[in-house]
C-alpha cells in the first residue's frame, strides 16, 4: 500500500508540475523562446535565435503544403530542427530518448520538458503563420495506473482531428513522432503510459 500511495503522490506531483509548465508559452518570438529541461521544467532558460537560423526553420515549409497531411510532415521536420537550434544555446543537445541518465543528467528532458518545448516551438510556427491547416492546442495527456505521459498537440482545422507530437522517445534533434491523439492515448490502463504505440 505504501508503494501505491507513493506512486499516486508522485503522479499527482508530476501532473501539477506539467500543468504549471503550460502557462509560460503564450508569448514567444524568435528573440524570446523559453526552453526547459532537467525534468519537470526544473531549469528554464530563454534563448533568442538569429534571423538566419529562423530562415532555416521556415525553409521546411517550402513549398507551401497543399494539404494537411503534407503540412504535418513539414511540422515534424521544423520541430526537429528547432530542437537542434535550441541545442546550440542550451544543454539539451545532450538529451537522450526517454528518461535516460547516461549523459550525466544535465540537459536531459522528460515528457514534461519535451511536451512544453515542442508546444513552444509549435506556437512559434503558428505566430509566423507557417501553419495553414492546423492550430496549436493544449498538450495531450495519458495515464495508466502506474504513470503518465504528456505530448504536444495540434488540431487539423478542417476535420477537428487532433494529433500528438511526441519527441520524448527520440534522442535530441530527431523528428518527433506524430500520430492521431486517440491512437496515442490507446494504451492499456494496467500497463504503462510510456508505450511507443506509434506506427513510425
pLDDT value of position 34 = 98
Residue of 76, 60, 53, 51 whose CA lies nearest to 154: 76
Three cell numbers written together for 78: 521544423
Q: Convert the pLDDT of each residue in 90-148 to its tens digit.
A: 999 999 999 877 666 689 999 999 999 999 999 999 999 999 999 999 999 999 999 99
The residues spanned by each domain of the chain are: 2-132
Q: Convert the pLDDT of each residue in 7-53 to its tens digit.
A: 444 444 444 445 444 444 558 999 999 999 999 999 999 999 999 99
Do residues 65 and 133 make contact, with C-beta atoms less than 8 angstroms apart?
Answer: yes
Amino acid at each position: 500500500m505504501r508503494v501505491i500511495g507513493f506512486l499516486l503522490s508522485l503522479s499527482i506531483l508530476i501532473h501539477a508540475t506539467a500543468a504549471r509548465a503550460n502557462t509560460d508559452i503564450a508569448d514567444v518570438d524568435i528573440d524570446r523562446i523559453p526552453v526547459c529541461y532537467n525534468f519537470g521544467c526544473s531549469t528554464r532558460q530563454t534563448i533568442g535565435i538569429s534571423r538566419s537560423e529562423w530562415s532555416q526553420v521556415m525553409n521546411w515549409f517550402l513549398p507551401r503544403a497543399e494539404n494537411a497531411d503534407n503540412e504535418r510532415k513539414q511540422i515534424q521536420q521544423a520541430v526537429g530542427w528547432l530542437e537542434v537550434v535550441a541545442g546550440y544555446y542550451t544543454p539539451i543537445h545532450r538529451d537522450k530518448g526517454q528518461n535516460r541518465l547516461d549523459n550525466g543528467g544535465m540537459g536531459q528532458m522528460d515528457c514534461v520538458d519535451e511536451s512544453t518545448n515542442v508546444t513552444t516551438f509549435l506556437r512559434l510556427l503558428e505566430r509566423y503563420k507557417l501553419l495553414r491547416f492546423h492550430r496549436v492546442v493544449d498538450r495531450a495527456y495519458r495515464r495508466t495506473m502506474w504513470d503518465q505521459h504528456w505530448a504536444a498537440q495540434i488540431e487539423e482545422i478542417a476535420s477537428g482531428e487532433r494529433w500528438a507530437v511526441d519527441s520524448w522517445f527520440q534522442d535530441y534533434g530527431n523528428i518527433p513522432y506524430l500520430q492521431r491523439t486517440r491512437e496515442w492515448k490507446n494504451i492499456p490502463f494496467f500497463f504503462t503510459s510510456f508505450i511507443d504505440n506509434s506506427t513510425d
